[in-house]
Structure 1
Amino acid sequence: MPNIAVERLIEISEALLQAAGASAEEAATVAKHCTGANLAGHDSHGIIQIPTYIDRMDAGHIVPGAAWDVVQETSTTMVIDANWGFGYVATERAMHRILEKAQSTGLGAATIFRQGHVGRLSSYTTMAAEAGMIGLMTADSGRAPKVVAPFGGREARLGTNPISVAVPSDLDGPLFIDMATSSAAAGKINLALARGQAIPEGWVIDREGRPTTDPRQLREGGALLPVGGTEGYKGYGLSVIVEILSGILTGLGFGVEPTGKHNDGCFMAVFRVDAFRPLETFRKEVGEFARYLKATPPAEGSSGVLYPGEIEHAAEGERRRDGIPVEDATWQKLSALAARYRVADGLGMDAA
């Protein structure tokens, strides 16, 4: 497949989601976040996810037009039941609400439960950074099937349980971390499968607990490992805390729900920087700190030091200019959906 312009991928995503039953507003939000992941170079969370979301809509695991209910609220906090709606829609709305709270109180926090996949957490924490706040977010897969083995074990008992933090700065691109507490996101295994690629050693063990580079083994009873390699107890510890914040604090619980319904649970918090220090001073000093780190002489074989988030910023510039690569397997799934919903002609899906 040749590279495809982001505008075209947005058009395709919106059309397919609407044909499957999403509203125009829901489809636009999901398409924005998915293609945003592609732009950042994280194709595992990009347009490759659209067929999965449509499958979940068909199964009733994602409910278009679901209510967004505030179960409990204070001046600084919220508990939100998304009623199995699109995770992107519910979480973006929650972030806007806690940013409003933080404008008047200095901080805001929320838990969200019973929602679909939320994608890259930095999609939301960078919203806080752009508003002059520090954003923090954790997520798990609720009681959906698990894919990560606890350190020392060979059976999956945890989700990939990501965490993200973003801070304001005067840098050209946003400074943030967005990382799974597993060796890799499950979506990266799916991406390797779609591309017919092996995965690096240390990511997955097979059902017998043996290391493997075959991505198929994850679906055949294997498990992802916690981040950290031989020091994987550190990633395991982080994953446990994320599970508590995103699963137990939200009320989702832990373990696997018998239906296998995917239901992301999230914890998010924002802190207004100028409640602690002048915002512009903070932004300037964060930028100076990043430039200080980048000035480190490169190690042998390295092209130099990047600040957290810089590689995604560079990827976005390149992909907006050159387009986004979409593997044949994903394009074929999108084309099949376009034919199923009889929108292929309007989308020109016979050619990229």
Structure 2
Amino acid sequence: MPIVQADRLTHIGAALLRAAGASKDEADAVAVGCINANLAGHDSHGIIAIPTYIDRIKVGHIVPGEKWTIVQESPATTVIDGHWGFGFYVNAKAMQLTIEKAKKTNVAACTVFRQSHVGRLAAYPLMAAKAGMIGIATADSGRSTKVVAPFGGREARLGTNPISIAVPSDLDGPIYLDMATSAVAAGKVALAAARGEDIPKGWVVGKDGKLTTDPKQLRQGGALLPLGGTEGYKGSGLAAMVEILCGLLTGLGFGVEPTGRHNDGTFMAVFNVEAFRPLKDFKKEVAEFARYLNATPPSEGSTGVLYPGEIEHRTEQERRKSGIGVEDDTWNKLRKLAADYNLAAELDLK
């Protein structure tokens, strides 16, 4: 498994995306978003996704250079049509617009439809947190192929439907939640398959409805289970609410469209902390609360309590120093793309 520094991996991803037709701004947005996921330890949303995005460009599912448009808006709300552009690029623009509106209206929200995969969802609420606001984002995959079975079922009828919330604080690293409403993100199962690893029992059911540790069964008619194990109705309920916010409120609908075109719908909201209490006081107390959680005596077998987002912050610090491991399967795909685009020598992919 090659170990690659983040800057170099970002350059490789951006160069391949530009060769596939993305503009510099689009390619940079996607590459930075992917490598930031790697840095945080979420390799399922990292450089491994670049070959898939390029495949989607080739078949017309992602349209580089397409301009997003505002379909409907008010002082505090916006509805955005991404026109099949890169989700990383469109969603970041949508969140920035929502932040600007929240500066004036204190609370603002937006929906985005007809865009490609948005990557690690936390990237967008973290933008709000950096602006001194609370950010919330949810996402679903529209009417593209589903991968999660509702609680009690064995057929996939939901997406992984993630939820992310980020808040400003005085901590060295950000405090935020970023979670799938399924037992695990589908990308983590794909990552295990690429690495030839088994998955924990409780992540996937095969098409026969039986639990499996073989990640390949997900793509052979199986389904992810909802978050919660024996209490999976909680994850299933959360997923249904996300589907309503991101599929029905956006107009994408539910179920599966036979063409299978990936179409991330998102709902995002921003809350201006200053409308509720002084930002300085809030940030200070959030940091104190996080340290209060950290000070909890550990249970048997535990190394201690971490606040939400702390493990990602620690992982990023380590990976910026030591580099990012790229599984051989993904590295070989990057090498082939570089050769196809006559970039092998420039990118030095050995």
2:118 is matched with which residue?
A: 118
Counterpart of 2:270, as a letter, is V
Tell whether 2:277 aligns with 1:284: no
1:319 is matched with which residue?
A: 319
Tell me the SS of whatever aligns to 1:242.
helix
1:296 is matched with which residue?
A: 296
Superposed CA offset, 1:118-167 (max 9, x none): 01111110110010000000000001000000000010000000000001
2:166 is matched with which residue?
A: 166
Tell me the SS of whatever aligns to 1:138.
strand
Give the whole-Å Cα distance in 2 for the aligned partners of 1:64 and 1:162: 25
1:5 is matched with which residue?
A: 5
Counterpart of 2:240, as a letter, is V
2:19 is matched with which residue?
A: 19
RMSD of aligned C-alpha atoms?
0.5
Give the whole-Å Cα distance in 2 for the aligned partners of 1:108 and 1:173: 25
Superposed CA offset, 1:15-56 (max 9, x none): 100000001110000001000000000000000000000000
**Where do 1:2-81 residues align within 5 Å?**
2-81=2-81
**Where do 1:323-334 residues align within 5 Å?**
323-334=323-334
Tell me the SS of whatever aligns to 1:160.
coil
Tell me the SS of whatever aligns to 1:287.
helix
Give the whole-Å Cα distance in 2 for the aligned partners of 1:65 and 1:256: 27
2:96 is matched with which residue?
A: 96
1:184 is matched with which residue?
A: 184
Superposed CA offset, 1:243-272 (max 9, x none): 000000011000111110000000000000
Give the whole-Å Cα distance in 2 for the aligned partners of 1:258 and 1:81: 21
**Where do 1:199-238 residues align within 5 Å?**
199-238=199-238
Alpha carbons 2:2, 2:328 under 8 Å: kept: no
Tell me the SS of whatever aligns to 1:79.
strand
Counterpart of 2:132, as a letter, is G
2:266 is matched with which residue?
A: 266
Counterpart of 1:200, as a letter, is P
- Identity among equivalent pairs (%): 67
Give the whole-Å Cα distance in 1 for the aligned partners of 2:194 and 2:125: 29
Q: In the TM superposition, what is the alpha-carbon distance from 1:2 to its structure 2 partner? A: 3.2
Give the whole-Å Cα distance in 1 for the aligned partners of 2:121 and 2:219: 24
Q: In the TM superposition, what is the alpha-carbon distance from 1:349 to its structure 2 partner? A: 1.0
Query: Which stretches in structure 2 are left out of the alignment for 5+ residues?
Result: none
Alpha carbons 2:140, 2:265 under 8 Å: kept: yes
Q: TM-score, normalised by structure 2?
A: 0.99
Tell me the SS of whatever aligns to 2:161.
coil
Q: Runs of 4 or more off by more than 3 Å in structure 1? A: none
Counterpart of 2:325, as a letter, is P
Give the whole-Å Cα distance in 2 for the aligned partners of 1:349 and 1:172: 35
Q: TM-score, normalised by structure 1?
A: 0.99
Tell me the SS of whatever aligns to 1:311.
helix
Query: Which stretches in structure 1 are left out of the alignment for 5+ residues?
Result: none
Tell me the SS of whatever aligns to 1:254.
coil
Superposed CA offset, 1:277-312 (max 9, x none): 000100011111111111000111110000000000
Tell me the SS of whatever aligns to 1:128.
helix
1:139 is matched with which residue?
A: 139
Alpha carbons 2:190, 2:215 under 8 Å: kept: yes
